[in-house]
Amino acid sequence: MANEPQIQQDDEVMLLNMGPQHPATHGVLRLVLALDGEVIRECTPVIGYLHSGFEKTYESKKYQQCVTLTDRMDYLNPLGNNLAFALAVEKLLGVEAPPRAQVIRVLLAELTRIQSHLVGLGSNGLDLGASSPIMYAFRDREMLLDIFEMVSGQRMMTSYIRPGGLAKDIPPGFEEAVQRFIDYFPEKLDEYHGLLTRNPIWMDRMVGVGKLTAEQCLELGVTGPMLRAAGIPRDLRKDMPYSGYESYDFQVVTRTESDCYARYLVRMDEMRESLKIVQQALNRIPDGPYVLDDFKHAYPPRQLISDQMEALIHHFKLATEGYRVPPGEVYSAIESPRGELGFYIVADGSGKPYRVHVRTPSFTNLQCLPVMAKGGFIADLVNMIAAIDPIMGDVDR
């Protein structure tokens, strides 16, 4: 098979599958390892075990139906995926979401980033045998899932951010719930620091493991926390701001050692920065419409349909054939918890996208695993995978 590492078959090397079903591969990733005792000579990732034909399915769905598909790609960053798709379609339509929607989008995208890092941190600890961090991480994550459920009715697959604005307005009690989380979370972060950061076993297993030089990261097109851990302050929220990010003040967290420990610390500090953004966003949620109210892109509210003929026509058009997007193509990317998440959409003027390609961060970041793993031990391979934090739905699309 083309995927087996091409090495000469001397008796010293053993080929082993760290296969699709493995507790430490964060999903259905398969690694074909050429082992010399415990040292990894060659590590070849084989992916595709969760290939779900997203890009082909997009082509047969209307624009508003595609939103529900975007949730299922990077299932730890549903709102981020919705936001990336919504921004791309809005650029095609040449419209902007109303200010209220933009602020709420930033707020929810940052909460999703915290939630995604919590799962990444928890499973990183679980991979290395520390089974308590994941318990604490999921306890805090449940509070975030309650907020998402309050906003959209669904814990994970929210489909809440749609082209043109939001699905519904935020319910009463949303601000208090977010404020409660903002006051509650920083001390929990310190709890994680106390639990893990200075823990001798944790440092022995993480410091100096999976080193990548900055040039290797740039060459392999790595983006996100892994690149920032190599000392390169590249963050799309700062470089190419979208949805109003330029008006929030937050730091781009970087380290220089570029090993697993640095990536862990970057993710921990990023959660603190996200919390600052959430606080600023919460303080400035403006009033006004939560969606473009020309009803060409979003369903008009229920009560308007009964008494306004025009709203009824819009509703009927949207329900049957969806809104038409003028022909053209666009590539717009956001900063997902794993890196640059970009949607490339070609529109042919009909109600369905002609071609949607998603540039996902995990797919590209996973390419540096063979470079990192060569010469290391199997035990270190486990926490290199956790440091890349790949989501297989993101990789295999």
Interaction residues for other proteins, span 138-157 (CB under 8 A): 138-139, 141-142, 145, 155-157
- Residue in this structure with the two tokens 């956790």, named with its chain if needed: 386
Q: Which one, 314 or 397, has the nearer CB to other proteins?
A: 397
Q: Which one, 17 or 213, has the nearer CB to other proteins?
A: 17
β-bridge pairing 328-336 and 39-46 = unpaired
Cβ proximity of 390 and 45 under 8 Å: no
**SS3 category, 335:** strand
Quick one: which segment of 48-56, 206-214, 245-253, 263-271 binds other proteins (CB under 8 A)?
48-56
Which of positions 317-346 make contact with other proteins (CB under 8 A)? 328-333, 340, 342, 344, 346
Cβ proximity of 266 and 228 under 8 Å: yes
The footprint of other proteins on this chain (CB under 8 A) covers a number of residues equal to 83
Quick one: which segment of 221-229, 257-265, 284-292, 295-303 binds other proteins (CB under 8 A)?
221-229
Cβ proximity of 260 and 210 under 8 Å: yes
Q: Which residue in 231, 357, 376, 377 binds other proteins (CB under 8 A)?
A: 357
Q: Which one, 196 or 311, has the nearer CB to other proteins?
A: 196
- 195 burial (CB, 10 Å; 0-12 / 13-18 / 19+) is middle
User: Alpha-carbon distance 131 to 125, whole Å?
Assistant: 6
Which of positions 88-117 make contact with other proteins (CB under 8 A)? 91-92, 94
Q: Which residue in 2, 172, 187, 198 binds other proteins (CB under 8 A)?
A: 2
Check binding of 303 to other proteins (CB under 8 A).
Answer: no
89 CA to centre of own chain: 19
Which of positions 225-264 make contact with other proteins (CB under 8 A)? 234, 239-240
Cα–Cα nearest to 344, from 359, 334, 328: 359
Check binding of 4 to other proteins (CB under 8 A).
Answer: yes
Cα–Cα nearest to 212, from 360, 384, 47, 379: 384
Q: Which one, 316 or 331, has the nearer CB to other proteins?
A: 331
Q: Where are the extended beta strands (E) located within the chain?
A: 14-18, 30-36, 39-46, 161-162, 165-166, 328-336, 339-347, 353-359
Cβ proximity of 18 and 30 under 8 Å: yes
Q: Which one, 82 or 290, has the nearer CB to other proteins?
A: 82
Q: Which one, 274 or 364, has the nearer CB to other proteins?
A: 364
108: Cβ–Cβ under 8 A, 6 or more apart, which residues? Answer: 79, 148, 151, 160, 161
Cβ proximity of 282 and 111 under 8 Å: no
Q: Which residue in 22, 168, 188, 296 binds other proteins (CB under 8 A)?
A: 22
Min dist CB 82 to other proteins, Å, is 14
Min dist CB 39 to other proteins, Å, is 10
Min dist CB 115 to other proteins, Å, is 10
Min dist CB 308 to other proteins, Å, is 31
Q: Which residue in 177, 272, 279, 354 binds other proteins (CB under 8 A)?
A: 354
In the structure encoding, which two tokens stand for residue 297, read together?
């892109």
DSSP state of 186: H
Q: Which one, 55 or 169, has the nearer CB to other proteins?
A: 55
Q: Which one, 221 or 289, has the nearer CB to other proteins?
A: 221
